[in-house]
Structure 1
Amino acid sequence: MYKMLAASALAMAASGAFAQEIAQSGSDWFTDGQARLEAELAKQPNTNRAKNVILFVADGQGVTSNYMIRLWTGQQEGGLGDDYVQPQEAFPNLALVKTYNINAQTPDSAPTAGAMNTGVKQRFNLINLGENAIHDDCSTEAANELTLFSELMTEAGKSVGAVTSARLTHATPAAVYAKTANRNWEDSVPEGCDGSRDIATQMIDAMTAGTLDIALGGGARYFVPEGTETPNGGKGHRPDGVNLIEQAKAAGIQYASNREELDALSMDAPILGMWTDSHASYEADRPESEPSLADSTRKAIEYLSQNENGFYLEIEAGRVDHANHAGNAKRAMIDGKMFADAIALADELTDDEDTLIIVTADHEHSIVINGYCGRGTPIDGICFDVAQEGIEHSGEPVLGADGKPYTVVSYANGVGSVLTEQEDGSFAAPEGRPDVSQEEAQDLDYIQQALIPASSESHSGVDVPLYAKGPWSHLFDGTIEQNVIFHVMNHAVTAE
């Protein structure tokens, strides 16, 4: 009897019946928590068949990068940062994703993107080949080619698109359409690989075949012969003398090299847009003539939405990864904000009832968030101490044991290493750790301090978040393998 009464009392308390007796019930934290509980209780799974699937991939934006970008965005809008909610963070469903490759604890972007597009994990540096394929061995390609989600969607009568702020032949966008034993074979394959095709050729073949209907990003040099001028004013890189851009135009594919040309294209034929010879610009450096990631997202969705059967669209924020590799956290934050803007726009342009939107990353980076910083400490600056009163930081820098301040964000390895090469080839920091001011730390070009010296900061094997909304998004739950993403997408578009 006592146990029944106790259980009843607990149930009433959980339902809010005793809220007036809880001392903290008037606190905003308490009422906000209760509101979140009620929202969770009201959730109903969406089991409609998905007409459209949009897969957002922020290259290199794992849990720590996402945290860094959240704070930066919130602080730019005048808040403390940590309570800010990015568009994807308001999505109703969440999972953590394991990103390792078949043969790598710390993953590479090619097989991670491939896992999402095929439903199986893959080997380091390969794109969309089975587990028996060998890196750099083109003879293992043919027997190990995998079926792509884009191919399944094409068979179902849907349109397909790829949008990126990197090169269109780079690992993540290439996973939408390419199959190769080396992610770096962007415009050529080695001698003796007569049956193989470079990634740029595979992309144009996919567009010509109708497997890829719109592709927007960078990388024009890989589509133009060496010595030939690209539409962007640079020089081509292809050693075979083939001009794939001209081939694409001859096949009826529309081409744009800048924002004005993109805006002028009709919506009646496939679209290829490349604004740069290599990667598109960082958002912090992007000229007005170059579409932003959000601009490209809008164009792709408007174009693909013409298909009454629906579409599959992969959108990559590729340069978050590049800024992290360079140890330049500020540019990673700014590109992460543009990624969030593209997500918000895609959400606005589509309907939750028939569109599954997934936001995730391929991997994380070796980012470190330092120190006991007070709230409101600029995430792009040095760590300020916790104040005894109020909620904001004290304004006093937190010092290391060496008596010097340090930035909130640093890297475990990279070009910003505090260890420098000595005359004898060894590495040391004879004068200790470099000092840093707030002004220096917040400069756009500041390279964060790192420990281990490296020419490029490395990826991390840490799990990445996944946010989802729309049909069958509730299937994303708990900690999942990265290849499960494909299976949920495929179920969503085929469910009865």
Structure 2
Amino acid sequence: MLRNTAAFALALTALGASANAQTADLPQAGSAWFADGKSVIDARLAQQPIAKRAKNVILFVADGMGVGTNFAIRVFDGQQKGMLGEENVLPYETFPNVALVKTYNINAQTPDSAPTAGAMNTGVKQRFNLINLGENAITKDCSTEADNALTTFGEIVHDMDKSVGIISTARLTHATPAAVYAKTAYRNWEDSAPEGCMDIASQLAAAMNSGLIDVALGGGRRHFLPKETTDPEGKTGRRKDGKDLVAEITAGGAQYVYDDETARAAKLDGTPLLGLFESSHMKYEYDRTGEPSLAEMTEMAITSLSTNANGYYLEIEGGRVDHANHAGNAFRTVTDGVAFAEAVAKAIEMTDEQETLIIVTADHEHSIAFNGYCGRGTPITGLCYGVDDQGVKHSDELVTADDGKPYPVIGYLNGPGSVLVKQEDGSYKGERPDLTQEQAMDPEYVQQALLPKSSESHSAEDVVAWAKGPYAHLLGGTIEQNVIFHIMMHAVTAE
């Protein structure tokens, strides 16, 4: 042992002082994996923190995209590009600063989107189902709102004469976008609230008319229109108070767009802009017709907000990643995830990292899981192929469980695809179906799950945050979710 250790030390010494000399004679030095690994270190050595005040801040939130969901998106995106998939790198995965983020709420191990988004917009953790209220506020208790209202990042930068924008593929009154402008004791008060409190849609109207919100693009038209009113798509509003908030907002000088045609005609010169592209949530990317993509809305917002010489804050949510996970439909989860990645790429293209801090993260993860042992390049939305011991790509043999049946790569711990089915006597029994690869890769396929639930649940595990731009180097390690606010805050106030 001593002789081998001494020989190893002498060998290392003989390799020379420089990194190149140390590695040049290693037998693995000719491998592409080795060269790629070294290039990562070289890039990190050359990386210099940008320690100057940020003019702009963009916060991307892929709702429901934790480590697992991001893995599925990465592989699917790569496979769509003709790769095996695992080696793919999403646009934000190139950012030099990365952290794990703890997502729990002050009263919940498994988080809700309202307080998680609120934590990122105020700097403090919050209570389940509340938006931007302090920890003494009580869910559904309207009387606790006034004394517990928190100041949002949007309000702070508005007072710095910056513009503020929101984009979401969900309803603009939904939890994550609402966290930019709303303060409420219950996230579901989207078009009505108890006496003495203001519903979320009315808060957005007030925010746009006061100049706090300059751009708001997403879904949720029904919450802005009276129940007697029919929108351009033939759907009726839900407001019982008779208010037409779209009319109120446009009367204040804002433009209103409701489909891809009117969106293309919008003036992006800084004139306030409201876009409500669906009665409820916007369409999944796979089903999208007649409305702009998340990347197109990102381009619209950045173009408009950039007319402010003082800069802007823009929160962009890929909201339907979450909804597809809830539905147990991995295909729409990953296709909306790719659309989210394309929006990040658009923002990178349109901004200067010397003046714009971009943070990409999620509010929470889902109970998604990945089966093994699958060979390289196995279709991420399909059934598990075996490992080929002599090649790189998977074998063409499906891997089977102990019941003799193949299984999908992606599953869920609970959800509508449960293998346990309710019987006439109220008990649950189940047997896994014998799937084909074609069936598993159908866009409508609902993944196999363990526990029966009509809607798959969030999970409590950490999510990731990636950052680039001014003071992005403050992001690192394992952090509480509310720290993201403090990074943004320092970036816009640093001397």
Where does structure 1 differ by over 3 angstroms across 4 or more consecutive aligned residues?
A: 5-14
Equivalent residue for 2:3?
A: none
> Shift in Å at residue 56 of structure 1?
0.2
Equivalent residue for 1:468?
A: 467
Structure 1 residues 268 and 466: CA distance shift in structure 2, 3 A: closer
CA distance in 2, matches of 1:164, 1:466: 19
> Shift in Å at residue 40 of structure 1?
1.1
Contact kept in structure 1, 2:270 and 2:305, CA below 8 Å: no
Matches within 5 A, 1:372-451: 372-429=373-430, 432-451=431-450
CA distance in 2, matches of 1:390, 1:198: 59
Equivalent residue for 1:59?
A: 63
Contact kept in structure 2, 1:373 and 1:385, CA below 8 Å: yes
Equivalent residue for 2:41?
A: 37
> Shift in Å at residue 251 of structure 1?
1.1
Q: Is 1:114 matched up with 2:113?
A: no
In structure 2, which of residues 263, 276, 279 is the aligned counterpart of residue 277 of structure 1? 279
CA distance in 2, matches of 1:199, 1:290: 23
Q: SS where residue 16 of structure 1 aligns?
A: helix
Matches within 5 A, 1:68-217: 68-190=72-194, 193-194=195-196, 196-217=197-218
CA distance in 2, matches of 1:168, 1:40: 39
Equivalent residue for 1:227?
A: 228
Contact kept in structure 1, 2:270 and 2:307, CA below 8 Å: no
Equivalent residue for 1:360?
A: 361
> Shift in Å at residue 17 of structure 1?
2.1
Alignment RMSD, CA only?
1.5
CA distance in 1, matches of 2:338, 2:284: 12
Equivalent residue for 2:298?
A: 297
Query: 1:64-95 CA deviation, whole Å, 9 max, x = no partner?
Result: 00000000010011101000000000111111
Q: SS where residue 381 of structure 2 aligns?
A: coil
> Shift in Å at residue 11 of structure 1?
10
Q: SS where residue 29 of structure 2 aligns?
A: helix
Contact kept in structure 2, 1:232 and 1:275, CA below 8 Å: no
The letter for the 1-side match of 2:200 is I
Contact kept in structure 2, 1:126 and 1:135, CA below 8 Å: yes
Contact kept in structure 1, 2:270 and 2:308, CA below 8 Å: no
Query: 1:105-157 CA deviation, whole Å, 9 max, x = no partner?
Result: 00000000000000000000000000000000001000000000000010001
Q: SS where residue 94 of structure 1 aligns?
A: strand
Q: SS where residue 53 of structure 2 aligns?
A: coil
CA distance in 1, matches of 2:54, 2:469: 8
Q: SS where residue 18 of structure 1 aligns?
A: helix
Q: SS where residue 164 of structure 2 aligns?
A: strand
Q: SS where residue 26 of structure 1 aligns?
A: coil
Percent identity at matched positions? 61
Contact kept in structure 2, 1:232 and 1:257, CA below 8 Å: no
Q: SS where residue 465 of structure 2 aligns?
A: strand
The letter for the 2-side match of 1:254 is Q
Q: Is 1:262 matched up with 2:263?
A: yes
Contact kept in structure 1, 2:99 and 2:477, CA below 8 Å: yes
CA distance in 2, matches of 1:156, 1:225: 35
Moved more, 42-51 or 401-410: 42-51
Contact kept in structure 1, 2:353 and 2:470, CA below 8 Å: yes
> Shift in Å at residue 486 of structure 1?
0.2
CA distance in 1, matches of 2:427, 2:16: 67
Structure 1 residues 456 and 264: CA distance shift in structure 2, 3 A: same
Contact kept in structure 2, 1:225 and 1:239, CA below 8 Å: yes
Contact kept in structure 1, 2:100 and 2:465, CA below 8 Å: yes
> Shift in Å at residue 23 of structure 1?
1.0
Query: 1:323-366 CA deviation, whole Å, 9 max, x = no partner?
Result: 00000000010000000000000000000000000000000000
Query: 1:416-470 CA deviation, whole Å, 9 max, x = no partner?
Result: 00000011111111xx211111001100100000000001000011100111100
Structure 1 residues 38 and 10: CA distance shift in structure 2, 3 A: farther
Contact kept in structure 1, 2:105 and 2:116, CA below 8 Å: yes
Equivalent residue for 1:371?
A: 372
The letter for the 1-side match of 2:86 is D
Matches within 5 A, 1:312-327: 312-327=313-328
Query: 1:355-399 CA deviation, whole Å, 9 max, x = no partner?
Result: 000000000000011010000100010000001111010110000
Contact kept in structure 1, 2:217 and 2:276, CA below 8 Å: yes
CA distance in 1, matches of 2:441, 2:14: 50
TM-score w.r.t. the length of structure 1 is 0.96
Moved more, 420-429 or 119-128: 420-429
Structure 1 residues 66 and 396: CA distance shift in structure 2, 3 A: same
CA distance in 2, matches of 1:12, 1:470: 37
Q: SS where residue 339 of structure 1 aligns?
A: helix
Contact kept in structure 2, 1:220 and 1:231, CA below 8 Å: no
Say how many residue pairs are matched.
Answer: 487
Contact kept in structure 1, 2:15 and 2:23, CA below 8 Å: no
Equivalent residue for 1:495?
A: 494
CA distance in 2, matches of 1:291, 1:49: 33
Moved more, 100-109 or 251-260: 251-260
| Structure 1 residue ranges without an equivalent (≥5) | none
Equivalent residue for 2:339?
A: 338
> Shift in Å at residue 21 of structure 1?
2.4
Structure 1 residues 186 and 29: CA distance shift in structure 2, 3 A: same
Contact kept in structure 2, 1:13 and 1:19, CA below 8 Å: no
Query: 1:189-244 CA deviation, whole Å, 9 max, x = no partner?
Result: 13xx32x1000000010001111000000000000011211233210001111110
> Shift in Å at residue 8 of structure 1?
9.1
CA distance in 2, matches of 1:36, 1:253: 47
CA distance in 1, matches of 2:114, 2:37: 40
Contact kept in structure 1, 2:12 and 2:22, CA below 8 Å: no
Contact kept in structure 1, 2:168 and 2:317, CA below 8 Å: yes
The letter for the 1-side match of 2:438 is E
Equivalent residue for 1:348?
A: 349
Equivalent residue for 1:484?
A: 483
